[in-house]
Amino acid sequence: MMGIHVGGMFHCTRAVLPGMMERRVGAIVSISSIHALRGQAFAANYAAAKGAIMGFTRSIAHEKASYGIRANAVAPGSIGSQL
């Protein structure tokens, strides 16, 4: 769970940051979840991964603001699906 959710977001961010910093502009949008904020029974690993994304995104927002780079995380709630 951590490798897919956090690792994927981390590697993508690491790949695009140098160009954004050079151009002094950019926007990073990460996908988190409402469960990062309030937890989820029987899905602690999912909630932890999405919480890590929120923390990472906040840190990048603070660190890279002086380069004109914005970072935000979208945290949708539960989404019903029909199969």
- Domain interval for residue 59: 2-74
Print burial letters for 5-23: b (CB count within 10 Å at least 16), e (below 16). Answer: bbeebbeebeeebeebeee
Among candidate residues 46, 70, 72, 75, the one labeled active-site is 46
Count the domains in the chain: 1
Retrieve residue 51's tokens: 């919480």
Establish if 80 belongs to a structural domain: no
Q: What is the pLDDT along the chain (83 residues), one digit of tens a residue?
A: 999 999 999 999 999 999 999 999 999 999 999 999 999 899 999 999 999 999 999 999 999 999 999 999 999 987 777 76
pLDDT of the residue at 83? 66
pLDDT of the residue at 40? 87
- 67 is a catalytic site residue: no
pLDDT of the residue at 81? 75
Establish if 81 belongs to a structural domain: no
Establish if 83 belongs to a structural domain: no
Helix (H) or strand (E) holding 72: strand 69-74
Give the amino acid at 25: V
